[in-house]
Amino acid sequence: MGVLDWETVVVTIDLVLGVVWAKRAGRLRERLFEKIVHDLDLGAQARLSIDWATNYGMSILFAWLFGQWPEHLQKLWTIMAAPAIDDAVACIAPVAAEPLRQLRKLCRCITRKSIDNRKSAIDWLMALPETGADLRRRGARIHHSGLHRKLVVLAMLRDGLDLSVVAATERLRPDTIRIWLENGMEHGLEAMVARPVRGRDLSEDQEREIGAWLATIRGRARGHGAWSAEQVQYEIMQRFDIKMTAASALSLLRANTAQSARSWDFGQLEGRCGNIACGIDQVNAGS
């Protein structure tokens, strides 16, 4: 990286914090943390045991990032599905000309071409042998309204409709559809359309085992890095091979974690990157 002035270092850190702590990036953020603990050989459990919003957690992140720059910056940008550098920089408070020039130079490995070439969950869907008509026929045979709707959405996307158009037509959040697609890419179509179970459908042993594990990750229940319902659902499916409804999974997390909010010791993390993260969210929502 060479020698940098302090203002350029601060701007670079602000930019990275805004990308990592963007509200809509919860699922991607966990993938980033998983990559970091793997690269640093910290053990798989470290992803959940480290409180990433603390001084300690952020020190690990930046040690990983600066330890192999710019390769790790490019990995971070890809994993977080972050916008182009100029778009991300536009979300930061006005930056002086020289630090901005230095920042663009530091981040020159992030090009619009590299962003456009990312393999996406849509690529996975379009590569399926099932056509849109096949997915509709399958949906017509299912009497579970939620699964029927999911297959209809997949069929529309498979036919080539834009995700934002499908979301508006079906009155769904675009992020919900993206999570469905990511689950499919990760676990396959069959797991994606499998019927989820409610909390009351779990056996006593299953509920106790899942609850005991959830009790160890209080930091994901509340605060800046809190998991969404879909993220809890995903983590439980990954660990226990049980697909719960998103609402039931979130209820189980809340029931098994302390009621008091976590205390944050990463300086003024919320104040420092909150506005930046909000701006990143807006850029991603429009992309």
In this predicted structure, what is the pLDDT of residue 243? 83
Of 40-44, 190-194, 202-206, the poorest mean pLDDT is in 190-194
Q: What's the CA gap between 90 and 174, in Å, rounded?
A: 23
In this predicted structure, what is the pLDDT of residue 51? 84
Q: Are 192 and 184 in contact (CB under 8 A)?
A: yes
pLDDT band at 158 (very low <50, low <70, confident <90, very high): very high
Helices (H) and strands (E) in the chain, counts: 18, 0
Q: Are 1 and 42 in contact (CB under 8 A)?
A: no
Q: What's the CA gap between 245 and 255, in Å, rounded?
A: 15
Q: What is the H or E stretch that residue 68 is in?
A: none
Average pLDDT for 122-127: 86
Q: What's the CA gap between 218 and 223, in Å, rounded?
A: 10
In this predicted structure, what is the pLDDT of residue 277? 47
In degrees and rounded to multiples of 5, residue 197 shows phi and psi of: -105, 155
**80 contact partners, CB below 8 Å, separation of at least 6:** 19, 20, 22, 25, 28, 29, 32
pLDDT band at 156 (very low <50, low <70, confident <90, very high): very high
In this predicted structure, what is the pLDDT of residue 83? 79
Average pLDDT for 114-133: 78
Per-residue pLDDT for 96 more than 70? yes
**Model confidence pLDDT, tens digit, residues 1-35:** 666 778 888 888 888 988 898 876 777 888 899 89
**Model confidence pLDDT, tens digit, residues 232-282:** 888 888 788 888 888 888 888 888 875 433 433 334 444 444 444 444 455
Q: What is the H or E stretch that residue 260 is in?
A: none
Of 135-139, 189-193, 270-274, the poorest mean pLDDT is in 270-274
Average pLDDT for 124-141: 90
DSSP for residue 41: T
**Model confidence pLDDT, tens digit, residues 32-81:** 998 999 999 998 788 888 888 888 999 999 999 999 988 899 889 888 88
Q: What's the CA gap between 79 and 126, in Å, rounded?
A: 21
**260 contact partners, CB below 8 Å, separation of at least 6:** none
Q: For residue 66, what are its two tokens?
A: 């600066």
Per-residue pLDDT for 190 more than 60? yes
Q: Is the dihedral of CA 130, 132, 135, 141 positive or negative?
A: negative
Average pLDDT of the chain, as a whole number: 79
Q: What's the CA gap between 203 and 32, in Å, rounded?
A: 33
**Percent above pLDDT 70 for the chain:** 82
Domain range summary for the chain, segments of one domain joined by +: 6-119+268-286, 121-187, 199-255
Identify the bridge partners of residue 90 per DSSP, sorted by sequence position: none
Q: For residue 222, what are its two tokens?
A: 């509340």
Q: What's the CA gap between 231 and 250, in Å, rounded?
A: 9
In this predicted structure, what is the pLDDT of residue 220? 78
